[in-house]
Amino acid sequence: MSAPKIVLVDDDAEVLDAWRLTLELDGFEVVTKRNADTALAQLTRDSAAVLVSDVRMPGRDGFGLLSAVAAIDPELPVVLITGHADVPMAVRAIRAGAWDFVEKPADPVLLIETVRRASEYRRLIIENRSLRAGAVPDDPWAARMVGRSPAIARLRGRLAVLADADADVLLFGETGTGKEVAARALHDLGKRHAGRFVAVNCGAIPETMIESELFGHEAGAFTGARERRIGKIEHASGGTLFLDEIESMPLATQVRLLRAVQERRIERLGSNREIAVDIRIVAATKTDLAALAKAGGFREDLVYRLNVVTLRLPPLRDRREDIPPLFQHFLALAAARAGRSPPPLGRDLLQRLARQDWPGNVRELRNAAERSLLGMDEDFDDVDTAAALPDAAGRTLEEQVALAEADAIGAALKRHGGRIGITASALGITRKTLYLKMRRYGLSGSAALGD
């Protein structure tokens, strides 16, 4: 991302030069334009820019410019300045999507602070778009197994090679590393995608029922078997059978499974007829099956039959560079389900996420992202309200009061589901005041869902 750019628009050359000098002295890169149309030519969806414009101009005015910018990118900040400011016009500007509103003649300190906040917001927007693009690219394998680390890239490559093969696969990894996601990707992106993907959690089925679940039964095979039932293995014929937590399978059931794996034939309980099945078996475990077999807890011959190919799924602590894009990916999915836009994430938050070990791995990270969107996780309170606000340390009293006010407004918006009227009433302020303060502190977008 290039350095933030400020595009200044005013038909008055003297005012334009004064604004330019003020911002350049504070280190901003400034481009000046005398009319709205030439300013628009400077802007694209990828522009790391902030637009600062007078409202009253010949031709296209500031509100027309605001509408045109929204068509290019509604998340590109626009600061409007006018010498005819009043509260109704300010509210109109904010409701139309303006980032903020400054009265002319613009106070230099206020103008700089407003533009600085808008520039930081824009930086976060561009940065998070880049994260989302990296998290879910056009490659279907990368969209399924999200991440940019060498470890996850190697895993994607091996999965892609195996997708069209019929070899059985053993997936080994800690809890929450995405074993079922990998199994489904093998099925959905391979030649068996037209068949069924049948998942069986071996640890969740009572020992007395697992053989019936896997192999099916005939009517009368045992007490309570009133009619024939097709088992999971037969049901998966033509597709993929996923055996999760296979280390939990009882030894007696392993004997029957071994024959099915070797011969691709089964018998329903209570039947003498063999049934051919066309299945690919993908088994998953968080336990070293070879070591378990040596300890007598698993059949050694079944281990050798299942692990034609073994793939190890890395824990998150071994691919920390994938944590920020994964968190953003899950946050975007959660926001889409809620009908909201995913909020920008601050750099400090992303670094803090990457430093954590995440013993629950991807599953734990996904749950944290969903809780953060709902405002239910205190560890991530800064995700959607104060992500772009600076730390209070070293700030003046006025600045620290502003930070506290922003936090209070953000918390109130969360409590009341982003409903403006109820939030304003709870805070003891008018809707107009709340709109203005939300813009001042960058509390826009997903925080303000409306009544």
Looking only at the bridges linking them, the beta strands covering 100-103 and 169-172 are: unpaired
Element (H, E) at 290: helix 289-294
Sign of the torsion angle spanned by Cα atoms 259, 265, 269, 272:
negative
In this structure, is residue 143 part of a structural domain? Answer: no
Residue 39 contacts residue 15 (beta carbons within 8 Å): no
Q: How many CA atoms lie within 13 A of 349 on its CB side?
A: 25
Residue 141 in domain: no
Q: Are 186 and 301 within one domain? A: yes
Same domain, 26 and 172: no
Shared domain check, 270 and 336 = no
Instruction: Say yes or no: 48 and 19 in one domain.
Output: yes
Same-domain status, 169 and 260:
yes
Note down the domain range covering 188.
150-313
Q: What is the pLDDT of residue 330?
A: 87
Whether residues 409 and 443 fall in one domain: yes
Q: How many CB atoms lie within 10 A of CB 255?
A: 12
Domain boundary among 274, 290, 313: 313
Shortest CA distance to 40 belongs to which of 71, 65, 77? 65
Whether 160 is covered by a domain: the verdict is yes
Q: What is the pLDDT of residue 361?
A: 95
The pLDDT value recorded for residue 11 is 85
Report CA 379 to chain centroid distance, whole Å. 17
- Is 267 inside a domain boundary? yes
235, part of any domain: yes
Q: Is the pTM of this model over 0.85?
A: no
The amino acid present at 150, given as its one-letter code, is: P
Name the residue among 307, 384, 397 with its Cα closest to residue 338: 384
Residue 327 sits in the same domain as residue 279: no
Q: Which amino acid is at 401?
A: V
Kindly compute the dihedral angle of the four CA atoms of residues 445, 446, 448, 451, in this order, to the nearest 10 degrees: 130
Any domain includes 144: no
- CATH value at residue 32: 3.40.50.2300
Q: Do 215 and 335 sit in the same domain of this protein?
A: no
The confidence score (pLDDT) of residue 437 equals 75
Residue 142 lies in a domain: no
Strand order across the 78-82 sheet:
29-33, 5-9, 49-54, 78-82, 100-103
166 and 304 housed in the same domain: yes
Question: What is the tally of structural domains in the chain?
Answer: 3
Distance in angstroms (rounded) separating the CA atoms of residues 377 and 384:
12
Q: Are residues 273 and 324 in the same domain?
A: no
Rounded CA separation 281/268 (Å): 19
Q: pLDDT at position 380, please?
A: 55
10-residue block means of pLDDT along the chain (451 residues)? Answer: 73 86 85 88 86 86 85 87 68 77 81 86 75 61 86 93 94 95 95 94 91 92 86 95 96 93 93 94 95 94 92 94 89 76 74 89 91 68 40 53 73 76 78 71 48 35
Torsion angle of the four alpha carbons 130, 136, 140, 141, in this order, in degrees rounded to the nearest 10: 90
| Pair (344, 309) in one structural domain | no
Please tell me the distance from the alpha carbon of residue 53 to that of residue 106, in angstroms, as a whole number.
12
pLDDT at 194: 93
**DSSP helix, strand, coil percent of the chain (3-state; round to 5):** 50, 15, 40
* CATH of residue 175: 3.40.50.300
Kindly state the DSSP code that residue 379 receives in the 8-state scheme.
G
- Examine residue 216 and state whether it is found in any structural domain, yes or no: yes
Query: What's the pLDDT score for residue 432?
Result: 66
Residues 6+ away with beta carbon under 8 Å from 378: none
283 lies in the same domain as 362: no
What's the pLDDT score for residue 399?
57
Q: Among 106, 135, 164, where does a domain finish?
A: 135
Return the CATH number at 415. Answer: 1.10.8.60
